């Protein structure tokens, strides 16, 4: 298999060595977990437990909501103290519903049912198990994994290549790197199970060339399987983005607005493949993940295996705490992650990193006017014209920004990274996308309200017509009995 370069991209400083040298650390249980019911793409899960109930590790605590959604499980045993709004992992400081569990320290699990050899099982049944385990894309998007599997099985031309993404191109993050080094066999098993479910012809595992040990470990684990290839790709941000990775590995470009299945590819992250192996061979739902705790303000940066719902303050404390007050807390990587309002937010399934950055790391010179150097255009991996898009977004002309391809922008931040005028281009795009989603939601709500009031008016009109008809029928004189008798005689 070959790789071709995708357009644009940048080479930010990696800072990977901060956390990549130490093995994954298993943490002691925290005192409390706040398991969000909205930590996946789609609608909020619906709680199935109440305050006061005892829950066991692996027990369902939130069933999937309407439409696209995912199940949520108790990460350990304890007492549910509340089902309430808690500070969400969102930059705006909004709250979202969570199941709060006071951990009892016993880590008592629900009994696991012995599983058959999954390679002998029905494919749809396996996809259903992935759905019930609440597995979502763990590279950041948190899209329900079973939905992708089912869509792939329905794909018109089938899936030729299952791609397992071990790119991890964001600076600081090394969670996937350590997972590949330490648990390569399980990732390969997960990849083979996905291949079996979607009936893919082959598996390509793409890893950036700055992860030598991970490449070796994955190659050794893949050796017995002739249809699995480990493809080494150049280190270039945003290599980990699906469209860029697919282009680099297969040479095929996913069309604008299209899906990877349009070019015969299904992509899953290495951590998602690992979670699928745990689910289908051990019956484990998704209740923990590997997460990088790093940044200049963290005393002992390291990767940890943490329970979903653990407050990120606990994660940072377990890495020695901070040496000075962090200037910025980020969930995810510094390029595409989100700035957190505090360390009080819980860890979610899609969070690959928690960064506590110091003053020096976040220092950003003040923005100055655009000098029309076009560096942002050269850096954009989607072939967009960021300076024009930003001009329209700044003027609230979202249609104009859309005409320049805003919908195709993956918010990678490459343009802002290279801008010599330090214009926060990506902030304009985030703002414009957010505003348009909000406008769409408002329009949807008013359509719904209009439909309701139209239906109400129609019903009232029908009721009034029925009443009038009944009244008219009462007023109509009845024929005389004699006349009726005469008519019957005829």
Between CA 62 and CA 69 the distance in angstroms is 10
Between CA 304 and CA 289 the distance in angstroms is 8
For residue 404, the minimal CB distance to ligand SF4 (Å) is: 9
| Helix extents (H) in 395-424 | 398-403, 414-418
Neighbours of 292 (CB within 10 A): 33
Q: Is the CB of 291 or the CB of 419 nearer to ligand SF4? A: 419
For residue 253, the minimal CB distance to ligand SF4 (Å) is: 14
**Token digits for 227?**
């249809």
User: 291, exposed or middle or buried, with CB in 10 Å at 0-12, 13-18, 19+?
Assistant: buried
For residue 152, the minimal CB distance to ligand SF4 (Å) is: 25
Q: Is the CB of 149 or the CB of 380 nearer to ligand SF4? A: 380
Q: Is the CB of 355 or the CB of 426 nearer to ligand SF4? A: 426
Nearest CA-CA partner of 308 in 351, 371, 253: 351
Q: Which residue has the tokens 């994954």?
A: 24
Binding positions for ligand SF4, rule: CB under 6 A: 370-376, 379-380, 382, 384, 386-387, 409-415, 419-421, 423, 425-426, 429
Q: Is the CB of 56 or the CB of 377 nearer to ligand SF4? A: 377
**Integer CA distances (angstroms), 75 to 39, 56, 285, in order:** 14, 8, 9
Q: Is the CB of 329 or the CB of 384 nearer to ligand SF4? A: 384
For residue 393, the minimal CB distance to ligand SF4 (Å) is: 10
For residue 412, the minimal CB distance to ligand SF4 (Å) is: 4
Q: Which residue has the tokens 């199970």?
A: 193
For residue 430, the minimal CB distance to ligand SF4 (Å) is: 9
Q: Is the CB of 371 or the CB of 441 nearer to ligand SF4? A: 371
Residues 6+ apart with CB under 8 A from 114: none
For residue 92, the minimal CB distance to ligand SF4 (Å) is: 20
Between CA 97 and CA 44 the distance in angstroms is 8
Strand partners, 54: 79
Nearest CA-CA partner of 3 in 231, 180, 186, 228: 231
Q: At what angle do helices 270-282 and 175-182 cross, to 10 degrees?
A: 50
Q: Is the CB of 43 or the CB of 430 nearer to ligand SF4? A: 430
Q: Is the CB of 198 or the CB of 412 nearer to ligand SF4? A: 412
Neighbours of 456 (CB within 10 A): 10
Nearest CA-CA partner of 239 in 163, 161, 301: 163
Residue 25 phi, psi dihedral angles, 5° rounding: -105, 135
Q: Is the CB of 187 or the CB of 423 nearer to ligand SF4? A: 423
For residue 362, the minimal CB distance to ligand SF4 (Å) is: 19
The strands making up 353-357's β-sheet, listed across from edge to edge, are 25-26, 302-307, 288-294, 353-357, 328-331, 338-339
Q: Is the CB of 334 or the CB of 386 nearer to ligand SF4? A: 386
Q: Is the CB of 71 or the CB of 409 nearer to ligand SF4? A: 409
For residue 337, the minimal CB distance to ligand SF4 (Å) is: 14
For residue 397, the minimal CB distance to ligand SF4 (Å) is: 16
Give one word for 450, left, alpha or beta, with left for phi > 0 and alpha for psi -120 to 50.
alpha
For residue 381, the minimal CB distance to ligand SF4 (Å) is: 6
Q: Is the CB of 109 or the CB of 370 nearer to ligand SF4? A: 370
For residue 25, the minimal CB distance to ligand SF4 (Å) is: 34
For residue 369, the minimal CB distance to ligand SF4 (Å) is: 8
Q: Is the CB of 11 or the CB of 299 nearer to ligand SF4? A: 11
Strand partners, 10: 237
Residues 6+ apart with CB under 8 A from 346: 33, 34, 35, 36, 86, 89, 98, 308, 309, 310, 311, 312
**Token digits for 37?**
């019911």
Neighbours of 307 (CB within 10 A): 23
Between CA 327 and CA 290 the distance in angstroms is 24
């Amino acid at each position: 298999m070959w790789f071709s370069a995708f357009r644009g991209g940048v080479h930010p400083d990696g800072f990977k060595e901060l956390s990549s040298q130490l093995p994954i650390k298993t943490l002691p249980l925290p005192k409390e977990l706040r398991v969000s019911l909205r930590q996946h793409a789609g609608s909020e899960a619906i709680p199935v437990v109440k305050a006061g109930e005892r829950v066991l590790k692996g027990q369902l605590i939130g069933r999937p909501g309407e439409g696209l959604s995912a199940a949520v499980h108790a990460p350990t045993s304890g007492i549910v103290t509340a089902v309430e709004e808690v500070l969400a992992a969102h930059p705006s400081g909004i709250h979202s519903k969570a199941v709060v569990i006071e951990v009892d320290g016993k880590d008592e699990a629900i009994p696991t049912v012995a599983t058959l050899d999954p390679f002998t099982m029905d494919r749809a049944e396996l996809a259903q198990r992935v759905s019930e385990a609440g597995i979502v894309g763990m590279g950041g998007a948190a899209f329900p994994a079973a939905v992708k599997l089912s869509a792939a099985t329905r794909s018109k031309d089938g899936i030729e290549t299952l791609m397992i993404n071990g790119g991890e191109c964001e600076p600081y993050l090394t969670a996937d790197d350590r997972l590949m080094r330490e648990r390569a066999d399980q990732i390969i098993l997960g990849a083979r199970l996905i291949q079996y479910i979607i009936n893919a012809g082959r598996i390509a595992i793409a890893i950036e060339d700055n992860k030598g040990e991970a490449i070796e470990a994955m190659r050794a684990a893949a050796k017995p399987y002739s249809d699995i290839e480990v493809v080494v790709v150049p280190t270039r941000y945003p290599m980990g983005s699906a469209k860029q990775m697919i282009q680099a590995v297969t040479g095929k470009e996913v069309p604008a607005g299209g899906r990877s299945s349009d070019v015969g590819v299904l992509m899953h992250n290495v951590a998602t493949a690992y979670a699928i192996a745990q689910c289908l061979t051990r019956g484990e739902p998704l209740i923990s993940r590997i997460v990088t705790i790093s940044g200049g303000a963290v005393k002992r940066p390291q990767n940890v295996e943490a329970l979903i719902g653990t407050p990120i303050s606990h994660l940072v404390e377990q890495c020695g705490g901070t040496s000075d007050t962090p200037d910025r807390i980020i969930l995810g990587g510094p390029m595409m992650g989100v700035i957190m309002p505090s360390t009080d937010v819980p860890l979610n399934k899609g969070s690959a990193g928690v960064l506590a950055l110091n003053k020096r790391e976040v220092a950003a010179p003040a923005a100055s006017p655009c000098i029309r150097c076009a560096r942002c255009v050269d850096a954009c991996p989607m072939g967009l014209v960021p300076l024009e898009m930003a001009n329209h977004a700044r003027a609230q002309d979202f249609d104009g920004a859309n005409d320049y391809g805003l919908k195709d922008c993956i918010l990678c931040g490459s343009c802002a990274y290279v801008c010599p005028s330090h214009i926060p281009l990506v902030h304009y795009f985030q703002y414009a996308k957010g505003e348009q989603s909000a406008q769409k939601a408002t329009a949807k709500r008013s359509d719904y309200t209009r439909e309701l009031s139209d239906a109400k008016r129609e019903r009232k009109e029908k009721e009034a017509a029925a009443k009038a008809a009944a009244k008219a029928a009462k007023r109509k004189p009845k024929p005389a009995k004699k006349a009726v008798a005469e008519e019957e005689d005829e």
